[in-house]
Each structure stands twice: as structure tokens, then as C-alpha cells.
Amino acid sequence: MNKFRNAQPSDAIRCFEIETSAYEGDEAATLEKISKRIEVYPDGFLILEIEGETVGFMNCGCAHNVEMSDEEFKELVGHDPNAPNVVIMSVVVDPAQQGKGLSRALMVEFVGRMKKMGKSAIYLMCKEHHVPLYERFGYRYLNPSTSGHGGMTWHEMSMEL
């Protein structure tokens, strides 16, 4: 059975393991960034557990004015927990657990929590092959991103809540 909870500092190493196993090259966040995201905004760091094991997570920050290519924001510089706009930084499931609908379960739980918190919109960047997936979740395509994060091409998407 899926269990959702907010991250705690002790989750950082397992989240880093998942992030580095699921993302390519420099795309993965460092252990330091993951630890800081948990410390600064645990309400925006959602853990998915199955039988007591962390198998996936999502994390975000909040902003009044969203600038998707802002690299400092990935370290929560400029984050305001009271801001209406949510910026997703990671949506990741352990590769050994992928293909089971867990990213959908994470997204549904996350969106529900953001609505309860009174947020007005969620923003994310993804690679081109993920655009149709996020469209099925209810996001709309905005534009190619100016971000060169990890040396890759990104696309910006948003969802009004």
C-alpha cells in the first residue's frame, strides 16, 4: 500500500540515491541540495513509501514570480512558503519501481496537497519526451526553457489549481 508523508532530514541519503539512479548526468540534484530542500521546505517535499521503503519523491519551492531557468531557486534562494506559485524541482521514482503508476500516484497526492495549501498554480520543467505525460496530468505546455540545466534541453509547463 502506498504511504505519503513529508520528508525528514534522515530521508536525504535515500532520496539522493533515487535521484542519482533515475536522472542522467548532471541533471540530478546533489545531496546538499536535497538536504537543503528538506530542511527549508518539508511541506513541499513529498515522500512515497511502499512497505516502509522510500521508492519515490517530489519536491518544490514557492515563488511570487516564477523564473523557471533560475538556477539559484533550485537551492530555494528566493523561496517564499506563502507564495501562490509552486515550482516542482524533482519528480522521481526508483528505477526498480517504475512502470507501476507511482509517478501518477505521487502527482495526484502532490496536487491535492498544494490545492489544500491554497496554491494557485504549479510549474515544472521537463524533457521533451515527458511533455505528453505531464499533459495527461493536466499541465499545459508553455514554451522551450532558456535553462541549460545539466546540459539538456527543457520545456516549461504549468497547471492552474
Amino acid in the structure at residue 124: L
- List average pLDDT for each run of 10 residues in the chain, which is 161 residues long: 95 96 82 95 97 96 88 86 95 95 95 97 92 94 80 87 96
Task: Specify the pLDDT at position 127.
Answer: 87
**What is residue 149's predicted lDDT score, i.e. its pLDDT?**
65
pLDDT for 150: 65
Class of domain 2-160 as given by CATH: alpha beta
The answer to whether the pTM exceeds 0.85 is: yes
Cα–Cα distance list, 127 to 16, 23, 42 (Å): 20, 11, 26
**Helix 31-40 with 12-22: angle, nearest 10 deg:** 130
Q: Are 13 and 49 in contact (CB under 8 A)?
A: no
DSSP-H helix ranges across the chain: 12-22, 31-40, 102-116, 131-137
Residue with cell 502527482: 107
